[in-house]
Amino acid sequence: MLRFFFKSSFILLIALFLSGCATTFNPATGRNELIFINSPTEVAMGHNVREELLKNHPLSKDARLNAKVEAVGRRLASASDRQDVQYKFYCLEEKELNAMALPGGFIYVNSGLMRILNDDELAYVLGHEVGHVAARHIAKKIQANMAYQLILGVAFAGMGDSAGSSAQNVAQGVDTVYNLVSLGYSRQDEYEADRIGVKYSFRAGYNPYAALSALEKIKKAEGPDWKILGYFRSHPFADERIEALERAIPKITGAEP
């Protein structure tokens, strides 16, 4: 019976792959992509993960920071190529210099990071997170992880323990997504989110070169431990990203062909 369950879910997944599988053009990345987590599902996941996040990380009570993250965020949201989710921007009361995007467009910046950045630099940081959402990096990571878990399920089907309760599966799902988000992204996704972030901040009327000063400021503030602490733990490869942006910005702004 269990074997049958796993077999049928595997077949279902293959069917999803083949039917939903007409790939869709994503204007944010400029590529045709295979996405089978649709936007309402992504938003629902975001809601669950947000509850988990807010249990351990309080929202900031600083009215100035909250007004600022909303105002700058609103301009970035309207510059995004992806408009089928509602972007929401929040400031968390945390010293660590960090920012993150949950599935579905929920974007968080720590107060520690906001306090060292000017508006143009904040626009790059928010643009980068909007970029992760618009490029659907999160959905792609979840898909890859789900497929992996399903393959493991198929591999171990029939070996002892029967399938867990569905409540337990949901709880594990939230944990998995939360971990995926906090673990950060691949080098390729980071470069892509940087390019998209600069493009959106430029579109929204901010100085695109503020991306460079933002990264330099964060590196300096984090000191010699920047490789393991804060922003660059979840958004790694600082030096390479600064170099890549120095080459990319003139092309994004049209200053160079």
Residues that bind Zn ion (CB under 5 A): 193, 235
Angle at the Cα of 199 from the Cα atoms of 250 and 178, rounded to 5 degrees: 130
Amino acid (1-letter code) at residue 139: A
For residue 9 the two structure tokens come to: 């879910």
Q: Encode 111-128: b = buried (16+ Cβ within 10 Å), e = exposed.
A: bbbbeebeebbbbbbbbb
Question: 6 or 199, CB closer to Zn ion?
Answer: 199
- Taking the complex as a whole, the smallest distance from the CB of residue 35 to Zn ion amounts, in Å, to 19
Sign, Cα dihedral of 187, 193, 195, 201: negative
- Taking the complex as a whole, the smallest distance from the CB of residue 184 to Zn ion amounts, in Å, to 7
- Taking the complex as a whole, the smallest distance from the CB of residue 131 to Zn ion amounts, in Å, to 8
Question: 141 or 235, CB closer to Zn ion?
Answer: 235
Question: 6 or 104, CB closer to Zn ion?
Answer: 104
Beta bridge partners of 26: 31
Question: 193 or 196, CB closer to Zn ion?
Answer: 193
- Taking the complex as a whole, the smallest distance from the CB of residue 140 to Zn ion amounts, in Å, to 13
Question: 153 or 236, CB closer to Zn ion?
Answer: 236
- Nearest CA to 123 among 185, 212, 198? 198
Question: 195 or 235, CB closer to Zn ion?
Answer: 235
- Taking the complex as a whole, the smallest distance from the CB of residue 156 to Zn ion amounts, in Å, to 33
Beta bridge partners of 99: 109
- Taking the complex as a whole, the smallest distance from the CB of residue 157 to Zn ion amounts, in Å, to 36
Alpha helix (H) residue ranges in the chain: 2-19, 39-56, 63-79, 111-116, 119-134, 137-156, 166-183, 187-203, 210-222, 230-234, 238-252
Question: 75 or 235, CB closer to Zn ion?
Answer: 235
- By beta carbon distance, the residue nearest Zn ion is 235
Sign, Cα dihedral of 4, 8, 9, 14: positive
Tell me which residue has tokens 């900031």.
60
For residue 12 the two structure tokens come to: 């279902």
- Taking the complex as a whole, the smallest distance from the CB of residue 176 to Zn ion amounts, in Å, to 19
